[in-house]
Amino acid sequence: MVNFFTAVAFAEGEAAPAANPMGQLFSFAPLVILFVIFYFLLIRPQQKKAKEHREMVSKLEKGDIVVTSGGIHGTITGVAEDTATVEIAENVRVKVEKEHIGAKKKK
């Protein structure tokens, strides 16, 4: 019994093995792989969609049929720098921020 306890005591006093540089590299590999997956599945498609929306908003012109982000359908009757005037019914016009125009419908 005494030999068992002394062997454990000696084992606890030994120095830890030196850190392996390749082991540290492999410990970061899952994080890098996870970031790459997030980039291609989440970040890149969102950036592409935002770019397409900016292009659509910049090309708005009078006569386009649009749907706002609130779901209002109408026809653009005027375009300013940041806003668009949308006719939603006969003689009913509202000013809408261009960024809140969600989609442009085909004529």
Does 44 share its domain with 74?
A: no
Please write the tens of the pLDDT for every residue from 19-77: 677 777 778 888 999 999 999 999 999 999 999 999 999 999 999 999 999 999 999 99
Strands (E), 1-107: 65-68, 73-79, 83-89, 92-97, 101-105
Q: Which residues of 8-39 are buried (b: 16+ CB within 10 A; e: fewer)?
A: eeeeeeeeeeeeeeeeeeeeeeeeeeeeeeee
Q: Given pLDDT bands bounded at 50, 70 and 90, which one contains residue 106?
A: confident
**pTM of the predicted model as reported, rounded to 2 decimal places:** 0.68
Q: What is the structure's pLDDT at 5?
A: 54
User: What is the Cα–Cα distance from 76 to 81, expressed in whole angstroms?
Assistant: 14
Q: Which domain holds residue 88?
A: 61-107
84 belongs to a structural domain = yes
Does 71 share its domain with 103?
A: yes
